[in-house]
Structure 1
């Protein structure tokens, strides 16, 4: 720790809070801010007009609104950060989203404040996958320029997986010595095995005797839900009493509904829609297995360790963070590929012999050993130590 009081003075910039805007990035941002604030002074700058529920020890700053253009939001974040830096001392700027991080990073560099950025994925590449046309091309080109500018301002980077380290180095030309891998984590207080699964199922109005397979994803193409449904129609023929629950919202919903009708899966697949923060742990507790069928750009997969913390075994495509998590735990839980055939074969293999699945205690123990927010925060603080001490040594 840098200060005599035993903590850092951190300004953290992110997208939003998951209670206001669902998503893995926001879940990560909220979780790491809450953990860091236990030992440090932390100001969290988010772009939302609403105040989320947060511990009193975190100072939440609401800047702008999602109704404003991205460029307007970016400018507001820069002006607000400049004012904050002028009003109070800051040891380190901790950035989590390039469009909102670039302005504050510029202001931090002017004042000699070290900048640490967490790279949550290639924003531009994610945009490209989900759109097309000239207008979309122009939008992604501008997005790439924002990313390149933001990443040029950071002293250190944190990534959640080897996959994203390689993308950051190869596509954005960030030197490897600036990049540190710190995996994500699960809130092990929220996500835990059920005391009585039958009671949880009754509460959610789910059948008591069925085998329930769960996935919770944004309904977009790269999440692999079309491939999962294609695989599930073969699984449902052999195991008609098994149910697939798909949580989440997004532009793919109508296509998924059409596929469910086409495949005759109305009794074996249920689209849950958006699953609230309150209900998400319950759906984990009610289920027998979790599936992550991602096709591309799975940076870490908070959902994987959240499911495992709940005692749920996870099967996943061998993509990004899911591959890294499961290959170090139970590699046989990885599908042989990303297509529907590989997903089908993997599911039928496991469901034919449930003894191949790890038990609740084994899943949770692995998370408690390797993937807690306390462990993440300690590693992040080590990075802060490095940049703050380097600044002190340079006499800035």
Structure 2
């Protein structure tokens, strides 16, 4: 089968849905399919999963260049500018399957595939609905979501039937390893330190500020408690300023962008992974990656997160509730044996539920109709 994976941002940024697209393409290629990626032109290097795959890039106008009439308007116009250059190639490619990852691509892809043999699918990881989504969605051969929570959102908004297909985690890469002495030194950590780790985009919705407030409440009882956060974003300077104001400047470090291949070693520095988001989380793949490294998790009880974390693998807290986050961290710090047991069970859960080969096979079968 000849597959087209059509997603502007798969070549221009890194994120959860981009990771899913690349890993799916890799699995399909390994199963003998011919896989072509359609992405936006960018100087960004391609991920390792792209090796051996056909990658086509096209010009587009960045969303920031459009009038600020709302983020959805800007995203829609950016996608349409991409489509103007990409759909001719898509139409001429004689594809058997075309899979998209953003609802803004529905109209141009369905138009490009009209009258062809291609079966069209949309795999969702969000809720960016707009007038006409239901009408276009009815024309799809496959409509899937990253979680039962996300599927319920789509069904409520559109009345369409949605499959749940959990993506995977590479548990061969994300696995427990011994802390790297050089990485410990680079962050000024001692083996005796108790370390919180998180890998998130640095925006207010990810809630790192609440973890810092919890640390401030715990530092007297646990003087060796520290936190390292991997990721970039516009909120970084605010978080660093907040850490200094709270007297946590030497305890909290922003590690900046972390190459995905280094994340397992990064998680090995930690005793507990914290994800105190108060924004909508369709699933929480970063949480599952930390769990695959046998870390117990403290995360917010929202969105699809409870489909990743249960009471045997971590502690869920109310969003924005610093007191609950503090109690959850204290509970795990007081009982390191229990925390380690949670970590082991977390890896078992991830290996069972989030498997890339199973994911690719499920998508392949669903797209057959």
- TM-score tier (shorter): 0.7 to 0.9
In the other structure, the counterpart of 1:273 is: 256
Residue 336 of structure 1 and its aligned partner are, at CA, apart by 4.8
Tell me whether 1:44 sits opposite 2:37 in the alignment. Answer: yes
Partner of 1:356: 338
- CA change 1:209–1:102 in 2 (3 A) is farther
Q: Deviations over 1:15-66 (max 9, x none)?
A: 3347x52221212211211112212111111113346154443111111256
Residue 160 of structure 2 is matched in structure 1 by: 175
The secondary structure found in structure 1 opposite 2:273 is: strand
State whether structure 2 residue 293 is matched by structure 1 residue 307.
Answer: no
Contact 1:95 1:117 in 2 (8 A): yes
Shift of 1:148: 5.9
After superposition, where does 1:360-379 map in structure 2 within 5 Å? Answer: 360-379=343-362
Aligned residues: 354
C-alpha distance 110-72 of structure 1, shift in aligned 2 (>3 A):
farther
Contact 1:13-1:97 within 8 A present in 2 as well: no
- Tell whether 2:26 aligns with 1:34: yes
Whether the 8 Å contact between 2:215 and 2:225 is mirrored in structure 1 is no
Equivalent residue number for residue 258 of structure 1: 241
Query: Cα deviations across residues 213-238 of structure 1 (Å, max 9, x unaligned)?
Result: 10111112221122222222112232
Say what the alpha-carbon RMSD is for the aligned residues.
Answer: 2.5
Following the alignment from structure 2 to structure 1, what is the Cα–Cα distance between the partners of residues 61 and 20? 19
Q: Deviation of residue 298 (structure 1)?
A: 0.6
What is residue 215 of structure 1 aligned with on the other side?
198
Partner of 1:74: 80
What's the counterpart of residue 72 of structure 2?
none
Matches within 5 A, 1:48-127: 48-50=41-43, 52-53=46-47, 54-65=49-60, 67=62, 69=65, 71=77, 73-86=79-92, 88-123=93-128
1:187 corresponds to which residue?
170
Would the alpha carbon gap of residues 335 and 113 (structure 1) be closer, same or farther in structure 2, given more than 3 Å must change?
A: same
* Alignment pair present for 1:248 and 2:231: yes
TM-score by length of 2: 0.86
Q: Distance in 2 between matches of 1:194 and 1:235?
A: 27
Identify which of 305, 309, 318 aligns with 1:322. 305
Distance (whole Å) between structure 1 residues aligned to residue 336 and residue 288 of structure 2? 20
1:315 deviates by 1.8
Match of 1:344 in 2: 326
Quickly say closer, same or farther: Cα 1:276–1:112, change in 2 above 3 A.
Answer: same
The answer to whether the Cα contact below 8 Å between 1:13 and 1:101 also exists between their aligned partners in 2 is no
Q: Match of 2:147? A: 161
User: Secondary structure of 1:304's partner?
Assistant: helix
2:58–2:85 CA contact under 8 A, matched in 1: no
Counterpart CA distance in 1 for 2:29 and 2:83 is 21
SS in structure 1 at match of 2:298: strand
Indicate if the aligned counterparts of 1:47 and 1:66 stay in contact, CA closer than 8 A.
Answer: no
Q: 1:180 to 1:73 in 2, by over 3 A?
A: closer
Q: Is the 8 A contact 2:296 2:314 kept in 1?
A: no
Matched-pair contact (CA < 8 Å) for 2:149–2:304 = yes
Query: Unaligned 5+ residue runs, structure 2?
Result: 66-74
- State the alpha-carbon separation in 2 of the partners of residues 212 and 169 from structure 1: 41
With normalisation by structure 1, the TM-score equals 0.81
CA contact (8 A) 1:106 1:153 kept: no
Runs of at least 5 residues in structure 1 that lack an aligned partner in the other structure: 1-7, 125-143, 387-396
Residue 255 of structure 2 aligns to a residue whose secondary structure is strand
Q: Secondary structure at the match of 2:37?
A: strand
Q: 1:320 & 1:189 partners in 2: Cα distance?
A: 27
Give the 3 Å change call, closer, same or farther, for CA 108–236 of structure 1 in structure 2: farther
